[in-house]
Chains A and B, each alone.
Chain A
Amino acid sequence: MKKISALLVAFVAILAGCGSSGDGADTASTDVPTISWYLIGAAPAAELQVEEAMNEILVPEVGAKIDLVFYDYGEYEDKMNMKFSANEPMDIVFASPLPFEENVSSGKYLALNDYLEDKDVLSETQKVINEKFWDGVTIDGNVYAIPTNKEIATQLYYLFDSSLVEKYDFDTTKVESMEDTEPFLQAVLDGEGYAPTSNDLNWNGLGKDLSLDCVASLSLQVCLDPEDPEAGYRWVYDIPGYQDQMEYIDYLIDNGLMMSDTLDIVDFATTDHAMIKQEGFPGAEVNWEKTFGKEYDVQPIGTPVVTTDSVRGSMNVISATSENPELAAKVINEVNTNSELRTIFAYGVEGTQWEYNEDGKIEFLDGASDYAVGVYEQGNFFTLPLAVGEPDDKWEQFEELNTTSKESPALGFAPDLSDFSAELANSSNMLEKHKITTMLANFDDSDTDIAAARKDLESVGFFDLIDEINRQYEEFQTTK
């Protein structure tokens, strides 16, 4: 009997514990308030040391301590949505994976206009961040997030295996499209005997070559062509050029120039390849060489388009439940403007994770593996010192990319489809069923395949959705 009641007590205690276990504020702090910052990614081993090092700057400069909270990629979205629904007190939140419009309209994010004008709070940050970014986070004249000042649009690159380029004497700098690479691909197929390229068709495949602005919630299959904004949003197959690309890819697969197994995700580190596509930014070849274990000749393709999604790719918000919103804004400001603090946040503690070499570049030490975090989430890139192996003019290249990127006419626009959830749910399912990998796997004739997909999509109201998106887009244009 005693044992059973003890068990019951334990059980009740567990239930009670569920409600109160939170990762709230620091216990040790006495009068200096602690600002929590929620970030995506696995918690690094050196988290505490880095927080301490950051506090050494933050306490005298801002009068706040920082508490970093990390949730893994798989769980971040769910956990943060729950926390927002439960009105938990939080300060700064990395908000890119969360539904922006919905959270703004339900009042979960703080409007930051007053802080942005206040020179003691965020006005410095407002100046350093490229103005195109602000367009993407402004709703009805109110700014709801601090975007990260980095590359403003993702540039698509073709990566050519340097040794093969040399062997087959191919001029990569003249490549402007997939078609231009065909002589090289053919030479590699003949000479080396394997399919020289693959295409991650799931998302950074076709559409990107055409530089389109696509709606994320519809599997990137409803897009606006910035070259032809009058036509409005269309299904990708209604945009001239898209179907041709699909036929071209089928041609490549049929002739052994592209791996046929588009369903399995190919691990390029262990698979023979001569050319691949990647999205990136200037200087990213350092990472690719590390990841795939090869040296590459890198060629940018197409003009990057600045879209609502690309500027919202990294942004932080202040939760409406924050107890110290002004202090939180000051912390964000310090991270974006103080190079020393920014470096600690990104790379860890000097002397443990990294040190400056004689050229003044960052050299990573053995401890660097204890602090591997998403640098892109945190703030301004342009105050970061260069790391070993990065080109000296990295930030100039970034600036150039940011100024030459083409602004989509729909920048700042994101459709609200919450009244069409039935159509949206069925359409996204149908789009999945008719995605390009499936079409190519059972390729018959592109006209027949597209007609079949169109018929299915019509029956679930997909084209009504597009009409609604265009209606909202017209409204957006008149109020802009």
Chain B
Amino acid sequence: MKDIKKNSGLLLLAVPGIIITILMKYLAYPGLLLAFKDYQASIDQGFFAALWSSPWIGFDNFRFLIMNPDIGLILRNTLGYNISLIIIGTITAVTAAIAINEILHLRTKKTIQTLMFFPFFMSWVSVSYMMVGFFDSDYGLLNQALSFFNLQPIEWYNDPTWWPLIIIIMGTWKGLGYNSVIYLSTIQGFDKSYYEAASIDGASKWQQIKYITVPLLKPMVIILTILGIGGIMYSDFGLFYQLPKNSAALYNVTQTLDIFVYNALKIPNSLGLSAAASFFQSIVGFSLVIGTNFIVRRIDRDSALF
């Protein structure tokens, strides 16, 4: 009780967040039933009443995920891209944060930071149209350059060869600014006396980074990675759908679980199937977070999330 009074200001600040979480997350829980029901909308009942009176069908809604012969490919894409993006994204963001931190000239520092942050605010739809300027098979910059050097032009939107690379580069490019800001602010919070003591002892800049900055950043990296792993079954819709223009010829390398579900469930009355798909994603994400956290706790108790 005493604590509540003491922290009342901070607790009040949390209220909107708590309300949103309750409304958007907890109140939505009964919706999980959708995955196990053959939902029948009805004119004289509200959503929940209709949901409750709809017949139970067990795991029937999950069948559509398993019966697709491409499901292995889809899971490979989802996991493969996300793992690559987490690893490459973390390495680039940490590197960028350390590098920016070493810039002493304040205006240069801010300018670089802003420029790096800029892509984060751009919508994938606009990016996808700029990409067409590069990748268009008749008028695109890349193909014009290729034909200038007498090389065979590539039908980018019909040829899956380069897309894994394109997707990883573009995904990293867009997230870099945002991720590095988190690390940068962490670095700026480090106690300056470590560095002072190190330089008195004659440590070089490189040694300071290697033995002070990186070890101190480790808990943050672990936390962000665990959180990233929680979303491993989800994917950035714009990156995988808008950027390749949903070209069917690229499906083998661009179709992740989210994109498959979206493409497959554009048919009416597929609430149950969509619910089953997202239920599956949540369960996998949840187990992976718990699992990763368990392993981290086994190795280093202090770095674990909980």
> A: which residues have CB within 8 A of B?
1, 4, 7-8, 11, 15, 85, 87, 99, 102, 106-108, 217, 260-261, 263-264, 320, 418, 421-426, 428-429, 432-435, 437-438, 441-442, 456, 459-461
Residues of B within 8 A of A422 (CB): 60-61, 63-64, 67, 273
Nearest first, the 4 A-B pairs at minimum CB distance are: A422-B64, A425-B264, A429-B264, A441-B158
Verify B155–A428 contact, CB threshold 8 A: no
Given A261-B137, A425-B264, the answer on whether A108 and B43 have CB atoms closer than 8 Å is yes
- Can you name the residue of chain A whose Cβ is closest to the Cβ of B261? A425
Verify B267–A421 contact, CB threshold 8 A: yes
Verify B43–A107 contact, CB threshold 8 A: yes
Q: How far is the CA of A106 from the CA of B268 in the complex (A)?
A: 14
Determine how close the nearest CB of chain B comes to the CB of A252; give it in whole angstroms: 17
Verify A106–B41 contact, CB threshold 8 A: yes
Residues of B within 8 A of A461 (CB): 67
- Can you name the residue of chain A whose Cβ is closest to the Cβ of B137? A261
Q: Is B15 an interface residue (CB 8 A)?
A: yes
Question: Which secondary structure dominates where chain B touches chain A?
Answer: helix
For B132-143 the 0/1 string (1 means CB < 8 A from A) is 100011100000
> B: which residues have CB within 8 A of A?
9, 12-13, 15-16, 19, 23, 40-44, 47, 60-61, 63-64, 67-69, 132, 136-138, 155, 157-158, 245, 247-249, 251, 260, 263-270, 272-273
Q: How far is the CA of A428 from the CA of B270 in the complex (A)?
A: 13
Verify B19–A426 contact, CB threshold 8 A: no
Verify A460–B67 contact, CB threshold 8 A: yes
Verify A432–B248 contact, CB threshold 8 A: yes
Most buried by A among B60, B69, B137, B247: B69
Q: How far is the CA of A423 from the CA of B68 in the complex (A)?
A: 9
Residue contacts A-B, CB under 8 angstroms, 7 given: A4-B13, A11-B19, A15-B23, A263-B249, A429-B68, A438-B248, A460-B69
Residues of B within 8 A of A106 (CB): 40-43
Verify B251–A433 contact, CB threshold 8 A: yes
Residues of A within 8 A of B137 (CB): 260-261
Q: How far is the CA of A1 from the CA of B138 in the complex (A)?
A: 62
Q: How far is the CA of A435 from the CA of B251 in the complex (A)?
A: 12
Verify A442–B264 contact, CB threshold 8 A: no
Residues of A within 8 A of B19 (CB): 11
Residues of A within 8 A of B63 (CB): 422
Residues of B within 8 A of A424 (CB): 267
Q: How far is the CA of A418 from the CA of B272 in the complex (A)?
A: 11
Q: How far is the CA of A426 from the CA of B66 in the complex (A)?
A: 10
Verify B267–A263 contact, CB threshold 8 A: no
Residues of B within 8 A of A460 (CB): 67-69
Residues of B within 8 A of A261 (CB): 136-138
Residues of B within 8 A of A4 (CB): 9, 12-13
Given A108-B43, A426-B64, A460-B68, the answer on whether A264 and B260 have CB atoms closer than 8 Å is no
Q: How far is the CA of A7 from the CA of B266 in the complex (A)?
A: 39
Given A108-B43, A426-B64, the answer on whether A459 and B69 have CB atoms closer than 8 Å is yes
Q: How far is the CA of A459 from the CA of B69 in the complex (A)?
A: 7
Q: How far is the CA of A217 from the CA of B61 in the complex (A)?
A: 19
Residues of A within 8 A of B248 (CB): 432-435, 437-438
Verify B267–A87 contact, CB threshold 8 A: no
- Can you name the residue of chain B whose Cβ is closest to the Cβ of A425? B264
- Can you name the residue of chain A whose Cβ is closest to the Cβ of B68? A426
Verify B249–A441 contact, CB threshold 8 A: yes
Question: Which secondary structure dominates where chain A touches chain B?
Answer: helix
Residues of A within 8 A of B267 (CB): 217, 421, 424-425, 428
Residues of A within 8 A of B132 (CB): 264
Verify B270–A421 contact, CB threshold 8 A: yes
Verify A421–B69 contact, CB threshold 8 A: no
Q: How far is the CA of A108 from the CA of B19 in the complex (A)?
A: 35
Q: How far is the CA of A264 from the CA of B137 in the complex (A)?
A: 10
Determine how close the nearest CB of chain A comes to the CB of B10; give it in whole angstroms: 11
Q: How far is the CA of A421 from the CA of B251 in the complex (A)?
A: 22
Contact of B249 among A15, A87, A438 (CB under 8 A): A438
Contact of A421 among B43, B64, B136, B266 (CB under 8 A): B64
Residues of B within 8 A of A320 (CB): 43
Q: How far is the CA of A227 from the CA of B262 in the complex (A)?
A: 36
- Can you name the residue of chain A whose Cβ is closest to the Cβ of B136? A264
Q: How far is the CA of A263 from the CA of B16 in the complex (A)?
A: 46
Most buried by A among B16, B19, B61, B267: B267
Q: How far is the CA of A320 from the CA of B44 in the complex (A)?
A: 11
Residues of B within 8 A of A456 (CB): 69
Q: How far is the CA of A456 from the CA of B267 in the complex (A)?
A: 20
Given A421-B273, A441-B155, A456-B69, the answer on whether A99 and B43 have CB atoms closer than 8 Å is no
Determine how close the nearest CB of chain B comes to the CB of A9; give it in whole angstroms: 12
Q: How far is the CA of A119 from the CA of B137 in the complex (A)?
A: 62
Extra pairs beyond A106-B42, A261-B136 (6, CB < 8 Å): A1-B9, A11-B19, A261-B137, A423-B67, A425-B264, A426-B264
- Can you name the residue of chain B whose Cβ is closest to the Cβ of A8? B15
Residues of B within 8 A of A15 (CB): 23
- Can you name the residue of chain A whose Cβ is closest to the Cβ of B62? A422
Q: How far is the CA of A432 from the CA of B68 in the complex (A)?
A: 14
Determine how close the nearest CB of chain A comes to the CB of B142; give it in whole angstroms: 15
Determine how close the nearest CB of chain A comes to the CB of B256; give it in whole angstroms: 13
Q: How far is the CA of A72 from the CA of B19 in the complex (A)?
A: 32
Q: How far is the CA of A429 from the CA of B261 in the complex (A)?
A: 9
Q: How far is the CA of A422 from the CA of B267 in the complex (A)?
A: 11
Determine how close the nearest CB of chain B comes to the CB of A186; give it in whole angstroms: 21
Verify A99–B268 contact, CB threshold 8 A: yes
Q: How far is the CA of A421 from the CA of B272 in the complex (A)?
A: 9
Residues of B within 8 A of A429 (CB): 68, 260, 263-264
Q: How far is the CA of A458 from the CA of B43 in the complex (A)?
A: 37
Residues of A within 8 A of B23 (CB): 15
Residues of B within 8 A of A435 (CB): 248
Determine how close the nearest CB of chain B comes to the CB of A425; give it in whole angstroms: 4
- Can you name the residue of chain A whose Cβ is closest to the Cβ of B260? A429
Contact of A102 among B12, B155, B263, B269 (CB under 8 A): B269
- Can you name the residue of chain B whose Cβ is closest to the Cβ of A263? B157
Q: How far is the CA of A429 from the CA of B23 in the complex (A)?
A: 33
Residues of A within 8 A of B268 (CB): 99, 102, 217
Residues of B within 8 A of A459 (CB): 67, 69
- Can you name the residue of chain B whose Cβ is closest to the Cβ of A87? B43
Q: How far is the CA of A369 from the CA of B46 in the complex (A)?
A: 41
Determine how close the nearest CB of chain B comes to the CB of A462; give it in whole angstroms: 11
Q: How far is the CA of A8 from the CA of B12 in the complex (A)?
A: 9
- Can you name the residue of chain B whose Cβ is closest to the Cβ of A77? B268
Residues of B within 8 A of A418 (CB): 269
Q: How far is the CA of A435 from the CA of B158 in the complex (A)?
A: 13
Q: How far is the CA of A264 from the CA of B263 in the complex (A)?
A: 19
- Can you name the residue of chain B whose Cβ is closest to the Cβ of A426? B68
